[in-house]
Structure 1
């Protein structure tokens, strides 16, 4: 099933989801209590939909919104240090209009790229349960089906996102090899398209842009940019 009213309609439905009691309670509690540094903010406090154009050729799949990032601003990877790293890299590769992402009305535009996650609510300790991941999967499947006409490549950030995304890609019509591809930084696998359209999806793995990875040097800016450039080339995005 494809969502009515296209991607915009899907995003509105995602933002109204209350399917997971633990996540609903957590995201709303965080929005009420707030962090001292953001005491003057009115938190979004709802599921965070994907961000980017409806004809994106490249999809970036994260894990879940941060409690005081996307859960505060209402936009994926916006207002936290992980987003600072990701959007700066997208800007340097020529896929974003500016290197920062601080609020939903800051004017940021993405060029041929959409950013999403397999879990749309901020989870306690940044750890969704397997049940929460599986409950949220239908949103990602619908998003993939809507993006399918234009989508040619995807970058998945981290092992959790990789494990969550593979079944969604399969449900959306691409063929995932068996045994399932193993996650690794720089890993690459082609997912064959359905016979009806024949368009393959080039799938790339990348370490997550978490503070743990970026602060320790496990993921450097050059490593992230290299994966994004390779994926952008595979997606057929023009150089900027």
Structure 2
């Protein structure tokens, strides 16, 4: 039985308990990813992602949109995770791969390639041959939200997927890069619930934020690194530059025990 068969039938719309019921039972990332793509727990997000997939953007009228939740992307033995916000309506929601097919993804993959964590500097579609080394990309919300703004309820409903994903990665996970304040605020409760001890007061997001969660009986030491999100608003204004993101990813790779490409003078 493959992962898709193990995931079972597509749940009915408005089954808001589907993530919490199924995510903790996953025995591997393949099964988890297959279940994520079947989720219909948030009616507003289901309606939006499917409307976008039908109407499409003019530049992509000849393409078939994915139009479903977008699973994480990267190897199961990743020692570094990158946590964003949610798929873009005409990016991940179109291509079916996290951070693929939009400007934010172009910026991120160029940085990952510079560090040596991505096999190529761009991510065009799910069949472009791109592979990641030692890093997995994910998000707190797996469906494209209207105006790129999930509601707190949608974030909380989707939390079980992120919790299960990090749990499956946890034997080797050493560092997490969080892109933006939304991802930071969504991630902290997940980590606390998973058994990591959270500092008090709770860490505040900022570019360059560095937090070490100490090892416990259940969990090994984990490093959190904050970066501004590579949105066009941030990259066009210079709030986030390529060297800034590369520096964060290079540090995360070192913490994760991954060899990195040498810095170019």
Q: TM-score range by the shorter chain?
A: over 0.9
Q: Residue 40 of structure 2: which of 11, 15, 18 is its match?
A: 18
Find the aligned partners of 1:3 and 1:66 in 2 and give their Cα distance: 28
Find the aligned partners of 2:216 and 2:44 in 1 and give their Cα distance: 37
Find the aligned partners of 1:238 and 1:219 in 2 and give their Cα distance: 24
Contact 1:3 1:9 in 2 (8 A): no
Q: How does 1:119-158 map to 2 (within 5 A)?
A: 119-158=141-180
Q: Residue 180 of structure 1: which of 183, 202, 205 is its match?
A: 202
SS at structure 1 position matched to 2:211: strand
Find the aligned partners of 2:72 and 2:216 in 1 and give their Cα distance: 24
1:149-195 Cα shifts (integer Å, max 9, x gaps): 01000000000110001111112222221211000000000112331
Find the aligned partners of 1:5 and 1:176 in 2 and give their Cα distance: 26
SS at structure 2 position matched to 1:115: strand
Find the aligned partners of 1:32 and 1:103 in 2 and give their Cα distance: 18
How far off is 1:2 after superposition?
A: 3.7
Q: Residue 10 and residue 175 in structure 1: after superposition, are their counterparts in 2 closer, same or farther (change >3 A)?
A: same
* TM-score where L is the length of structure 1: 0.97
Contact 1:89 1:99 in 2 (8 A): yes
Q: How does 1:1-240 map to 2 (within 5 A)?
A: 2-197=24-219, 199-240=220-261
Find the aligned partners of 1:44 and 1:36 in 2 and give their Cα distance: 16
How far off is 1:5 after superposition?
A: 4.0
Tell me which structure has the larger Cα radius of gyration: 2
Q: 2:20 maps to which residue?
A: none
Quote the RMSD (CA, aligned, Å): 1.0
* TM-score where L is the length of structure 2: 0.88
How far off is 1:4 after superposition?
A: 2.8
Q: How many residues align?
A: 239
**Which consecutive residues of structure 2, in runs of 5 or more, have no partner in the other structure?**
1-22
**Which consecutive residues of structure 1, in runs of 5 or more, have no partner in the other structure?**
none
Contact 1:141 1:168 in 2 (8 A): yes
